[in-house]
Structure 1
Amino acid sequence: MSSVQKVLLSGSAAELLRRLTEMHGPLMFHQSGGCCDGSSPMCFPDGEFRTGPADVHLGDLMVEGLETPIGFWMSADQYEYWKHTQLTVDVVKGRGSGFSVEAPEGVRFLIRSRLFTDKESEALGLL
């Protein structure tokens, strides 16, 4: 098993997720692909968004202070475009237009990315 993580959290996203977990209980992320806000990571109470065979589980995000990891899922079609990148969930000011639990807080999650190195890609079985 590779030690390379496909998805990470920024410090500000982790802080927000601790607060949101206090309000909503365990959480999960899903990123569908689409355009506009459809390409943003959406955060839901865990299990509220139903995943299936058309989704890829990129990993479980461990947040200091939370007992339950936060699963991150992406639609398989979107993953085909992003599989060579490490994703970092971050948070910025401004509201998105989706149903993500952070919307009432006046912020929105977004993805920052970087390409995996050849060594990381090899460890993940992408080469």
Structure 2
Amino acid sequence: MRDTYEETPRVELTPEAAVLLRRLREAHGPLMFHQSGGCCDGSAPMCYPAGEFRTGASDVLLAELVVEGVAEPVAFWMSRSQYEVWSHTRLIVDVVAGRGSGFSLEAPEGVRFLIRSRLVGA
């Protein structure tokens, strides 16, 4: 069974990230994020068409992000081991110029998603 952590909003979007998600939704349909902390871009969040990245018992659903103008929420998953490291923070999904992983949908846009963080309760 997968855990969902909802006691405090654990993930939020910058306005720039929301704009990009709307564009990606128009081009690719429903979306999801997964952040593994593994290879490629390290701990960068990867954006995929919803369901294209397989999640399982080793993943935690941190949030279902509501994006104005997008019909369905965008699920934000993180590997359980990564969550243990980041559990004391609120994650902020932002967008910066530059090329990230070729696996994430925003790669051809010349930008990449990036996580900023803030201590919970700070």
TM over 0.5: yes
Q: CA deviation at 1:40?
A: 0.3
Q: Indicate which of 50, 53, 61 corresponds to 1:46.
A: 50
2:117 pairs with 1:113 = yes
Counterpart position of 2:15? 11
CA contact (8 A) 1:44 1:101 kept: yes
- Pairs within 5 Å for 1:66-81: 66-81=70-85
Unaligned ranges ≥5, structure 2: 1-5
Q: Helix, strand or coil: the match of 1:96? A: coil
Identity %: 68
TM-score (norm 2): 0.92
2:107 pairs with 1:103 = yes
Cα separation, 2, equivalents of 1:104 and 1:66: 21
Unaligned ranges ≥5, structure 1: 119-127
CA contact (8 A) 1:85 1:114 kept: yes
Counterpart position of 1:91? 95
User: Over aligned residues, Cα RMSD in angstroms?
Assistant: 1.3
Q: CA deviation at 1:117?
A: 1.2
Cα separation, 2, equivalents of 1:73 and 1:57: 5
TM-score (norm 1): 0.88
**Residue deviations 1:89-109, cap 9 Å, x none?**
000000113300000000000
CA contact (8 A) 2:13 2:92 kept: yes
CA contact (8 A) 2:40 2:101 kept: no
Q: Higher helix fraction: Structure 1 or Structure 2?
A: 1
Q: Helix, strand or coil: the match of 1:49? A: coil
CA contact (8 A) 1:37 1:98 kept: no
**Residue deviations 1:15-50, cap 9 Å, x none?**
000000000000000000125603100000000000
